[in-house]
């Protein structure tokens, strides 16, 4: 199923030669495989087929319109965390009745727009937000369907920066704070509580925390129904991990089986919000070696991609496997290398302490696992235009996002330049 493969001595994405692609489109560039994307969506839907489930893609993982369009065409909805993502989702054809709006800081203009678009529901993360949504719904004569994001205080056993289900994080509401919220909901006829949810973390490699969370949530749903709320959905968020190096993530079918087993007794429909597991491995970042320099300690392979194109190593100390796509693969002497970008930060690296055949200037490298949280987290730091996103299908590809021009970096500054 991996569509990034070596045939003969050449690297391909599906049937597109990556060396040729890099020559035509330049580097750095993100390359995505459409057939992998489709296969991931179809596998996911198949795994949950036996139970009423709505999968809502976490748009923040990969927000490119062409990619989103494929995902929505497969029948998925969208999980959003901003008004910008709402506009993207709508533009890419997400049906509004499959859109859930999460996030700890929804703003007035975002809520208004989501009400106007008649989204499926808001995932409530604070009492203040509950009031805001109630008021805005009232003044526009609408009813807002809501779900409460619960913080189950469960450790997802993942990187601290992507764990989201502990009381020490800003997300969701503790069970003990719910009774007050229920009172507020009863007082507000413009609100309709239709679900509960949680999202305890990302890149989870163990199903047990998720199982515990689902069990706890199912129990909670039971008591909330006894209070008279007509719940319809239980939202278990996203978070399924993928292989970046040698991880052994649960299969999609084990993941589905674990969730369904816990949720089934409630009879509620299941909502899931997958991000990384759908798109993480459908993409690579192509980058070219600018130069190689030796220090007393090691070699530094300086490439034309940097932390502004892929911030995960810097931000989470994440590992991304890096392969040399050049045809002289075997000629380099195995050496201890850091693969670094040109940005003026010591934290600017794509790979650290790699024992690899020493690349030469001009070599093309492929950084794997760059479908999720790569392009969507890119910045223009050091006035570097953002790289293009290329969506490959068979022997063809489409430029799903053009490389940014230098002019676009300062276009919004020119108007007020004295």
Ligand X SMILES: *Cc1c(COP(=O)(O)O)cnc(C)c1O
Contact positions with ligand X (CB under 6 A) in 116-145: none
Taking the complex as a whole, how short is the minimal distance between the CB of residue 42 and ligand X, in angstroms?
A: 17
Peptide bond into 173 cis (omega under 30): no
344 is catalytic: yes
Which one of 77, 172, 209, 275 is in contact with ligand X (CB under 6 A)?
275
Total residues binding ligand X (CB under 6 A)? 18
Which one of 53, 54, 64, 102 is in contact with ligand X (CB under 6 A)?
102
Taking the complex as a whole, how short is the minimal distance between the CB of residue 207 and ligand X, in angstroms?
A: 14
Please enumerate in sequence order all residues whose Cβ is within 8 A of that of 284, keeping only pairs 6 or more positions apart, or say none: 4, 13, 30, 31, 366, 367, 368, 369, 370
Which one of 34, 40, 60, 233 is in contact with ligand X (CB under 6 A)?
60
Q: Which two tokens stand for residue 348?
A: 């600017």
Taking the complex as a whole, how short is the minimal distance between the CB of residue 219 and ligand X, in angstroms?
A: 21
Q: How many CB atoms lie within 10 A of CB 117?
A: 16
Taking the complex as a whole, how short is the minimal distance between the CB of residue 392 and ligand X, in angstroms?
A: 22
- H runs (alpha helix) in 51-148: 65-73, 83-91, 108-116, 127-139
**Phi-psi region for residue 19, left (φ > 0), alpha (ψ -120 to 50) or beta?**
alpha
Please enumerate in sequence order all residues whose Cβ is within 8 A of that of 203, keeping only pairs 6 or more positions apart, or say none: 158, 159, 162, 239, 241, 242, 276
Is 198 or 224 the residue whose CB approaches ligand X more closely?
Answer: 198
Contact positions with ligand X (CB under 6 A) in 29-58: 58
How far, rounded to the nearest angstrom, does the alpha carbon of residue 405 sit from its chain's CA centroid? 26
Contact positions with ligand X (CB under 6 A) in 140-199: 199
- R_g of the chain, CA atoms, integer Å: 23
Which one of 34, 88, 276, 288 is in contact with ligand X (CB under 6 A)?
276
Q: What is the dihedral of CA 92, 94, 96, 101, to 10 degrees?
A: -90
Contact positions with ligand X (CB under 6 A) in 364-393: 372
Taking the complex as a whole, how short is the minimal distance between the CB of residue 198 and ligand X, in angstroms?
A: 9
Is 79 or 129 the residue whose CB approaches ligand X more closely?
Answer: 79
Taking the complex as a whole, how short is the minimal distance between the CB of residue 197 and ligand X, in angstroms?
A: 8
Contact positions with ligand X (CB under 6 A) in 234-253: 237-240
Is 60 or 368 the residue whose CB approaches ligand X more closely?
Answer: 60
Q: Which of 13, 337, 344, 370 is catalytic?
A: 344
Nearest to 337 by CA among 293, 290, 299: 299
- Taking CB under 6 A as the binding criterion, the range among 224-232, 268-276, 312-320, 400-408 that sits at the site for ligand X is 268-276
Is 59 or 136 the residue whose CB approaches ligand X more closely?
Answer: 59
Q: Which two tokens stand for residue 205?
A: 């490699």
By the 10 Å C-beta count (0-12 exposed, 13-18 middle, 19+ buried), 321 is classed as: middle
Interface with ligand X includes 202 (CB under 6 A)?
yes
Q: How many CB atoms lie within 10 A of CB 15?
A: 13
> Which residues, listed in sequence order, are joined to residue 101 by a DSSP beta bridge?
80, 122
Taking the complex as a whole, how short is the minimal distance between the CB of residue 321 and ligand X, in angstroms?
A: 19
Task: Please say whether the beta carbons of 202 and 162 come within 8 A.
Answer: yes
Is 61 or 356 the residue whose CB approaches ligand X more closely?
Answer: 61
> Which residues, listed in sequence order, are joined to residue 80 by a DSSP beta bridge?
101
> Which residues, listed in sequence order, are joined to residue 146 by a DSSP beta bridge?
122, 193
Which one of 165, 250, 274, 351 is in contact with ligand X (CB under 6 A)?
274
Is 223 or 253 the residue whose CB approaches ligand X more closely?
Answer: 253
Residues that bind ligand X (CB under 6 A): 58, 60-61, 79, 81, 102, 199, 202, 237-240, 273-277, 372
Q: Which residues are catalytic?
A: 344
């Amino acid at each position: 199923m991996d569509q990034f493969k070596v045939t003969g001595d050449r690297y391909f994405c599906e049937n597109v030669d990556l060396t040729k692609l890099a020559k035509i489109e330049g580097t750095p560039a993100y390359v995505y495989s459409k057939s992998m994307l489709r296969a991931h969506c179809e596998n996911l839907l198949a795994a949950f087929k036996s139970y009423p489930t709505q999968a809502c893609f976490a748009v923040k993982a990969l927000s490119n319109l062409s990619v989103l369009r494929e995902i929505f065409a497969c029948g998925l909805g969208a999980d959003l965390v901003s008004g910008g993502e709402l506009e993207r989702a709508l533009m890419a054809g997400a049906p509004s009745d499959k859109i859930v709006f999460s996030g700890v800081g929804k703003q007035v203009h975002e809520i208004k727009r989501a009400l106007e678009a008649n989204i499926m529901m808001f995932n409530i993360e604070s009492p203040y937000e509950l009031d805001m949504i109630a008021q805005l719904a009232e003044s526009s004569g609408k009813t807002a369907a809501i779900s409460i994001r619960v913080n189950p205080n469960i450790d997802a056993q993942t990187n601290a920066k992507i764990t989201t289900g502990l009381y020490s994080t800003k997300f969701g509401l503790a069970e003990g704070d719910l009774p007050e919220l229920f009172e507020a909901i009863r007082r507000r006829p413009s609100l309709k509580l239709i679900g509960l949810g949680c999202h305890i973390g990302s890149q989870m490699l163990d199903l047990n925390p998720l199982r515990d969370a689902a069990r706890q949530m199912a129990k909670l749903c039971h008591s909330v129904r006894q209070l008279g709320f007509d719940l319809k959905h239980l939202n278990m968020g996203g978070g399924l991990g993928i292989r970046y190096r040698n991880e052994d993530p649960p299969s999609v079918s084990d993941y589905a089986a674990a969730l369904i087993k816990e949720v089934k007794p409630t009879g509620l429909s299941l909502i899931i919000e997958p991000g990384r597991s759908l798109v993480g491995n459908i993409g690579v970042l192509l980058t070219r070696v600018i130069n190689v320099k030796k220090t007393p300690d090691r070699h530094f392979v300086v490439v034309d991609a940097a932390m502004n194109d892929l911030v995960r190593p810097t931000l989470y100390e994440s590992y991304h496997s890096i392969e040399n796509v050049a045809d002289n693969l075997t000629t380099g002497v195995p050496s201890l290398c850091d693969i670094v970008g040109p940005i003026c930060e010591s934290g600017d690296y794509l790979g650290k302490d790699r024992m690899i055949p020493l690349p030469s200037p001009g070599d093309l490298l492929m950084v794997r696992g760059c479908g999720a949280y790569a392009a969507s987290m890119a910045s223009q730091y050091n006035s570097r235009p953002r790289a293009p996103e290329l969506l490959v299908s068979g022997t063809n590809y489409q430029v799903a996002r053009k490389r940014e021009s230098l002019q676009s970096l300062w276009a919004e500054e020119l108007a007020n330049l004295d």
